[in-house]
């Protein structure tokens, strides 16, 4: 007889961990246990250092993908956890997914989705608090879909006053987009400064999660409103933000 599945990680505990530079992972998709990770070296993507290639700018300018925010969070995290030819296993277990779904319902986890017609072809999700966004995972089913999602994320954080975009571990892909590595002590100091008043050890309770994590969706809605008022495509404003042009 199987016991009851372990409960999701409490929202307050997750936010406390993130404010202290720690995050959970699992050893496999079906693993009921989680372990806590505190990397010695941390990858971040400086918001003023994003590398926008000509080809990516062209893809964004042409509006190849429609981008939405928080419309299908569950589908995004499920796609990130799905087996891939080069990664048949995943650190995103059922318990991890349940935990971030709860965090999403609390207003502190968000997704960006890329659509080609009516098909979800790419996206990312992560955790937001204060002026910090911690990217968790991304997926792509068409060329450049995840890159477009990252470009939108960087632009939206810049437009909304974000300060720290955490990428956790460095990869060649992230390095090509401008990510750098810093030590954990420096990372925690940056997070404490960007997260708002109080020290990193005094995490906000779940009652304040929605307000603390609202930067990304608020910036997305502001972008759409500005684009509509100016009679331009939102992609134009995204590119203006990334290239410092007007």
pLDDT of 45-96, one tens digit each?
A: 999 999 999 999 999 999 999 999 999 999 999 999 998 777 777 889 999 9
Helix (H, G, I), strand (E, B) or coil at 14: helix
The more confidently predicted of residues 197 and 196 is 196
Residue 2: per-residue pLDDT: 58
Question: Are 184 and 21 spatial neighbours (Cβ–Cβ below 8 Å)?
Answer: yes
Q: Residue 208 pLDDT more than 60?
A: no
Residue 210: per-residue pLDDT: 55
Question: Are 134 and 168 spatial neighbours (Cβ–Cβ below 8 Å)?
Answer: yes
Q: 205 φ, ψ to 5°? A: -75, 170
Q: Residue 245 pLDDT more than 50?
A: no
Residue 25: per-residue pLDDT: 95
Task: Express each pLDDT in 6-53 by its tens digit.
Answer: 899 999 999 999 999 999 999 988 899 999 999 999 999 999 999 999
Residue 3: per-residue pLDDT: 65
Confidence of residue 177 (pLDDT cuts 50, 70, 90): very high
Residue 56: per-residue pLDDT: 97
Residue 84: per-residue pLDDT: 79
Domain positions in the chain? 11-243
Q: Which of 102-106, 168-172, 210-214 has the lowest mean pLDDT?
A: 210-214
Question: Are 131 and 195 spatial neighbours (Cβ–Cβ below 8 Å)?
Answer: yes
Task: Express each pLDDT in 102-150 by its tens digit.
Answer: 999 999 999 999 999 999 999 999 999 999 999 999 999 999 999 999 9
Q: Is 11-243 a domain of CATH 3.30.360.10?
A: no
Helix (H, G, I), strand (E, B) or coil at 19: helix
Nearest to 77 by CA among 66, 91, 64: 91
Residue 122: per-residue pLDDT: 98
* Lookup: tokens for 153: 């994320």
* Lookup: tokens for 142: 């068409």
Residue 216: per-residue pLDDT: 96
Residue 200: per-residue pLDDT: 36
Confidence of residue 244 (pLDDT cuts 50, 70, 90): confident
pLDDT, averaged across the chain: 91
């Amino acid at each position: 007889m199987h016991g009851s599945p372990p409960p999701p990680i409490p929202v307050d505990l997750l936010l406390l961990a993130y404010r202290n530079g720690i995050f959970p992972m699992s050893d496999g998709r079906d693993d009921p246990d989680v372990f806590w990770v505190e990397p010695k070296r941390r990858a971040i993507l400086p918001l003023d250092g994003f590398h926008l290639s000509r080809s990516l700018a062209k893809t964004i300018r042409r509006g190849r993908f429609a981008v939405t925010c928080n419309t299908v969070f569950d589908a995004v995290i499920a796609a990130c956890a799905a087996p891939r030819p080069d990664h048949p296993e995943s650190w995103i277990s059922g318990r991890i997914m349940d935990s971030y779904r709860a965090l999403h319902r609390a207003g502190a986890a968000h997704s960006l989705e890329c659509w080609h017609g009516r098909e979800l072809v790419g996206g990312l999700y992560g955790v937001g608090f204060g002026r910090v966004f911690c990217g968790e995972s991304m997926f792509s089913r068409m060329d450049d879909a995840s890159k477009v999602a990252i470009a939108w994320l960087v632009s939206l954080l810049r437009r909304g006053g974000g300060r720290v975009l955490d990428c956790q571990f460095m990869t060649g892909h992230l390095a090509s987009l401008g990510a750098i590595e810093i030590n954990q002590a420096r990372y925690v100091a940056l997070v404490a400064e960007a997260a708002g008043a109080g020290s990193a050890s005094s995490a906000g309770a779940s009652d304040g999660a929605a307000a603390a994590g609202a930067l990304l969706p608020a910036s997305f809605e502001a972008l759409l409103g500005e684009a509509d008022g100016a009679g331009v495509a939102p992609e134009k404003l995204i590119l203006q933000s990334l290239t410092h042009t007007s």
